[in-house]
Amino acid sequence: MALMPLSWKLSPAKEAPYFSPLDLLLPILAVLMVMDLIMRRSWARFGIPPVPGILWAGVAALSLLWSYDPPALAALKTWAHGALNPFLFGLAAVWVFQNLADEAAEYRRLALILLGSFGVCVLWALYQYVGREGLPYDPYLPERDLQGVSNYRVAGWYDYRDVFGAQAALLVPAAGAFALLDKDAAVRWAGGAVALLALCVTLAAGGFVGACAGIIAVAAAFALSRCTLTGVAVLGILLALVVVVLPRLPRHNPKVLFRGLAFFAEHKDEMKPTAGLRRHQAVLDLLAAPSNGQNQEGAPYWLKGVGAGRYQERINQFYEHEPPYPYVRPGERTDDETVFDMEAHEKFSFGLLETVAVELGVPGLLAVLFLLASWIAAAQGAFARLASPAPPSGPDTRREIGALLALAALGAGCGALVLSLFGNPAIRGVGGSFAFFFAVALCAARWAQEPQTNAAQVGTADERR
Q: Please report the pLDDT score of residue 309 as a whole number.
A: 87
List, for residues 326-340, the tens digit of each pLDDT value.
778 888 888 888 888
Structure confidence at residue 457 (pLDDT) = 40
Provide, rounded to the nearest whole percent, the portion of the chain with pLDDT above 70.
91
- Report pLDDT for 370: 97
3-state SS of 385-421 is: HHCCCCCCCCCCHHHHHHHHHHHHHHHHHHHHHHHCC
Question: What is the pLDDT, as a whole number, of residue 454?
Answer: 41
In the chain, the percentage of residues whose pLDDT exceeds 90 is 55
Question: Are 103 and 398 in contact, with CB atoms under 8 Å apart?
Answer: yes
pLDDT digits (tens, 9 = 90+) for 118-145: 999 999 999 999 999 999 988 888 888 9
**Averaged confidence pLDDT in the chain:** 88
The residues spanned by each domain of the chain are 8-256+351-464
pLDDT score of 15? 65
Looking at per-residue pLDDT, the higher value among 407 and 463 belongs to 407
* pLDDT over 90 at 367, yes or no: yes
8 Å CB contact between 81 and 309: yes
| Mean pLDDT, rounded, for 242-260 | 94
Give the DSSP per-residue string, 224-266.
Answer: HHT-HHHHHHHHHHHHHIIIIIGGGSTT-HHHHHHHHH-SEEE
Average pLDDT over residues 343-363: 92
Q: For the ranges 14-28, 142-156, 234-248, 352-366, which has the lowest average pLDDT?
A: 14-28
Residue 199, by phi and psi: left (phi above 0), alpha (psi -120 to 50) or beta? alpha
pLDDT tens-digit map of 4-63: 888 777 766 666 677 888 888 899 999 999 999 999 988 888 989 999 999 999 999 998
Among the ranges given (37-46, 204-213, 257-266, 388-397), the one the predictor scored with the smallest mean pLDDT: 388-397
pLDDT of residue 72: 67
> Is residue 462 very low, low, confident or very high in pLDDT (cuts 50, 70, 90)?
very low
Whether pTM exceeds 0.75? yes
For the ranges 109-118, 301-310, 400-409, which has the lowest average pLDDT? 301-310
